[in-house]
Amino acid sequence: LRFDEQVRVVVFKSQVKGVFCAGADLKERAKMDDAEVGEFVRRLRNLMDEIAALPVPTIAAIDGYALGGGLELALACDLRVAASSAKMGLIETTRGLLPGAGGTQRLPRCVGVGLAKELIFTGRQIDGEQAACMGLVNHSVPQNSEGDAAYQRALTLAEEILPRAPFAVKMGKLAINKGMEVDIASGMAIEGMCYAQNIPTRDRQEGMAAFREKRPPRFTGK
């Protein structure tokens, strides 16, 4: 996906009705020794980092349970849409664990430090509406009879992104992600570097021409 220039947006959904991702198989985990557990979690953390580093926008469609590593997967995405009936939580402390695939870092950046601590310390599960109120998800939608309301809303969101200039969107994502890791002055410098890369693109010229000619732009990603 990283190197496929035809991909504009990636939507993560489950094929299992009522479950987005239930997290690690703790029965499997119980059979591992300490070294195996450490390696398992390291590989899982690396996977989440790779998802977060995808250059195109990513959307998690949460139509059911997103618990533990399942919520960490959703947090690795840029945007999240949840059914109002979905259940989410970093529940690791209820199992004698702590989040190990990015949850302790991505949740505070998403909802704020105090709320993230409360959710992680308590292992509390929340529904889609509560998640939307605290900014954990972008949108909460009533579940439908097919059980894919979040996925359908995610597709609508993806369709809003698709007509936009692909390279500009990628540079916008890069500027935001890298800028969040540094002070604002450094972030401004990162934005400037990303903008500079966008200036010579054909899409920028096409956007200006379409505006002058009062027509929809035809972006190619070049």
Is 112 among the residues known to form the active site? no
Is 24 among the residues known to form the active site? yes
The one catalytic residue in 69, 100, 103, 128 is 69
The one catalytic residue in 23, 61, 68, 72 is 72
Give buried/exposed letters for 21-57 (b at 16+ CB in 10 A, else e): bbbbeeeeeeeeeeeeeeebbeebbebbeebeebbbb
For residue 81, which of 132, 121, 144, 35 has the smallest C-alpha distance?
132
Is 100 among the residues known to form the active site? no
Q: How far apart, in whole angstroms, are the C-alpha atoms of residue 161 and residue 155?
A: 10
The one catalytic residue in 64, 74, 83, 92 is 92
Is 5 among the residues known to form the active site? no
Beta carbons within 10 angstroms of residue 145's beta carbon = 6
Contact between 110 and 75 (Cβ < 8 Å): yes
The one catalytic residue in 23, 24, 89, 101 is 24
Which residues, listed in sequence order, are joined to residue 79 by a DSSP beta bridge?
A: 59
Exposed (0-12), middle (13-18) or buried (19+): which is 221, by Cβ within 10 Å?
middle
Could you list the active site residues? 24, 69, 72, 92
